[in-house]
Amino acid sequence: MNYNMKKFLVSITLFFVAFSISFAQQYDVLDKVKADVRKSNGMEGPFRFDGLKPLSKAPAGYKAFYISHYARHGSRYSSSSKTYTIIHDVLDKANELGVLTPYGKELRNKYESFYMEPWINTGDLVPLGFEQHKKIGEFAAKEFPSVFKGSRKVNAISSTAQRSIVSMSAFSLGLKSRNPKLDITHGSNHVCMTVAAPPSAPDALVRHFKGEDDAPALESAESFRARTARESELLNKLFTDTSFIKNVKYGERFPFELWQLYCGYHNYEDRPLFDDLFTDEQRVGFWEAENYESYLYEATARYSQIPLLEDIIQKADAAFKDPEKAADLRFGHDYILEALAALLNLNGWGTAVSKPEDVKYWFQNYNVPMAATLMFVFYRNSRNDILFKVLLNEEECTIPQLKAVKGPYYRWNDFLSWYDSMRAAHPEIK
């Protein structure tokens, strides 16, 4: 077989491999969202522990010894008080004008009996959020006993948000419940923000990198939402006349904020108050619009997470030389974890797309629910050869740009080589 024929066969093989991977990513995303309300809740929904897959065994001779972690805070009330006030103001005005449908009146009555406590506690962690991170701490200690043994040291930091600080405490309690001897230190201040939420650090400490402002040449989020979210159907279900909304302050945001409420209220409320608000088809449309907006923001934000990735690498290097170090934990926010996953290209999240409709095939924001967690788990053998794997929400990930040693296990040196090439292409802007 001549060289050209070999080259052709390799090329066509790679094409079909790429095609099969792409197809595996895309074919049933909307079906999954339609079938599972929790997926359509996207980033606002709570992480649940049902359906977790057993973790694979490490290659022979390798033992887990260190974990580096980043987590989104656990379940909370809505992050913006406007979610609650805009809904209240629009429904109140509609009631005053007599333009509520029978369903709209029912919804308003439910909402008025419900919203005051969430509004007062805007952004705060809820009891479910505490339990989530406590369970994840327990999971980590149970699954990786060789890491969290004896009096080994764990360092934890968080953003300055209350919900992140309390999540950090809950995770630590989960670890302690499995091993009270662990030596755990906590930190949360504005310097910690350079790692826990780099773009939100104090202005003097924010770093910038080439490419972080390169927005993808795609349709705007507003345009995509207008043709995807089917907002008029929702409004007509609630109001006999919708023209008044434009005269209510922030009224144009009402459908979006109602969607935010719908997706998130089961973080803190067991009653099915609003579960029938959206049809299955509307859920799919609103989710795709929201997912697309998340992609647009995180596609441009991924390189702003280089300081966080630097910290992961530097802390790992120090831990490799310190037999007492068990883990470094970081607690922050959804927009950081989404961008970090895109930067790492976990499960193909960093894939660039040419059409807005293709975003959902690679990037799904339901993978960053409340209490979403990313863990680098490090292994070594008697020759001090270091492997690692990445868990997202306690499930093993692929890293397409690296060649796996076995299953989800990769060589750390290969990762460092990828990091060096990525940094060379995206230097810091002074």
Task: Kindly report, residue by residue over 202-225, the tens digit of the pLDDT.
Answer: 999 999 999 988 878 899 999 999
Quote the pLDDT of residue 246.
96
More confident residue, 52 or 332: 332
CA distances from 13 to 18, 178, 363 (A): 9, 48, 25
Mean pLDDT of all residues in the chain?
93
- Residue pair 64/147 in contact by the 8 Å Cβ criterion: yes
Q: Give mean pLDDT, residues 49-76.
A: 96
pLDDT at 179 over 90: yes
pLDDT score of 216: 80
The closest of 48, 44, 27 to 362, measured between CA atoms, is 27
| E strand residue ranges, 63-211 | 63-72, 153-158, 183-187, 208-209
Residue 147: both structure tokens together: 């890491």
Residue, of 360 and 300, whose pLDDT is higher = 360
Is residue 19 very low, low, confident or very high in pLDDT (cuts 50, 70, 90)? Answer: very low
Instruction: Please tell me the predicted confidence (pLDDT) of residue 12.
Output: 31
The CA distance from 273 to 266, in Å, is 9
Residues 6+ apart with CB under 8 A from 404: 398, 410
* Domain ranges for the chain: 31-77+124-212+301-429, 81-123+218-294
Distance CA 349, CA 342 (A): 5
Looking at residue 25, its pLDDT comes to 57
Fold of the CATH domain 31-77+124-212+301-429: Rossmann fold (3.40.50)
Q: What is residue 217's predicted lDDT score, i.e. its pLDDT?
A: 85
Other CB atoms within a 10 A radius of the CB of residue 59 amount to: 14
Query: Parallel, antiparallel, or unpaired for β 325-332 and 153-158?
Result: parallel
Confidence bin at 80 (pLDDT 50/70/90): very high
Instruction: Report the alpha-carbon distance of residue 239 to residue 245 in Å, rounded.
Output: 10
Cα distance between residue 286 and residue 40, in whole Å: 8
Range 173-177 average pLDDT: 98
CB atoms within 10 A of CB 255: 21
Statement: residue 404 has pLDDT above 60: yes
DSSP class of residue 149 equals -
pLDDT of residue 127: 98
pLDDT at 13: 33
Kind and range of the H or E run holding 135: helix 127-143
CA distance 330 to 315: 12
- Which residues make beta-bridge pairs with 390? 376
